[in-house]
């Protein structure tokens, strides 16, 4: 179900963030931990300050950037799937396979 899919996506992103922030300087590691909520917000709802911090930490780690991009891609697919609704399951399924590719 969608709750569990979303939960697994965010848990995976959190694992990557924790692993990657260990390589940051002390200041950046602590600040990244305090700003972890920006990784979970929709990119279009971030404030300028939040966007700045997000970009800062994504620039420091390619792995973290890739994980964040995957989370955003999944979120966009999920919003499209909700908009299509259950009557278009075939199209939702095709778009999911395209997302995986």
What's the rounded Cα separation, in Å, for the pair 6 and 74?
Answer: 9
pLDDT at 37: 94
pLDDT at 53: 96
Using one digit for the tens of pLDDT, what is the confidence trace for 39-94? 999 989 999 999 999 999 999 999 999 999 999 988 888 888 888 888 887 887 88
The two structure tokens encoding residue 10? 């965010």
| Banded model confidence at residue 12, pLDDT cuts 50, 70, 90 | very high
What's the rounded Cα separation, in Å, for the pair 70 and 78?
Answer: 12
Nearest to 70 by CA among 34, 31, 35, 43: 43
The two structure tokens encoding residue 39? 């990784």
On whether the CB atoms of residues 17 and 36 are closer than 8 A, the answer is yes
Domain range summary for the chain, segments of one domain joined by +: 2-100
| Banded model confidence at residue 1, pLDDT cuts 50, 70, 90 | low
- By the 10 Å C-beta count (0-12 exposed, 13-18 middle, 19+ buried), 75 is classed as middle
């Amino acid at each position: 179900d969608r709750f569990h899919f979303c939960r697994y996506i965010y848990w995976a992103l959190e694992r990557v963030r924790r692993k990657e922030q260990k390589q940051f300087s002390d200041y950046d590691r602590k600040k990244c931990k305090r700003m972890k909520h920006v990784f979970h917000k929709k990119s279009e709802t971030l404030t300028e300050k939040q966007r700045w911090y997000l970009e800062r930490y994504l620039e420091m780690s390619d792995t973290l950037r890739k994980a964040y991009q995957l989370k955003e891609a999944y979120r966009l697919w999920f919003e499209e799937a909700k908009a299509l609704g259950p009557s278009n399951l075939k199209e939702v399924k095709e778009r999911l396979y395209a997302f995986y590719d």
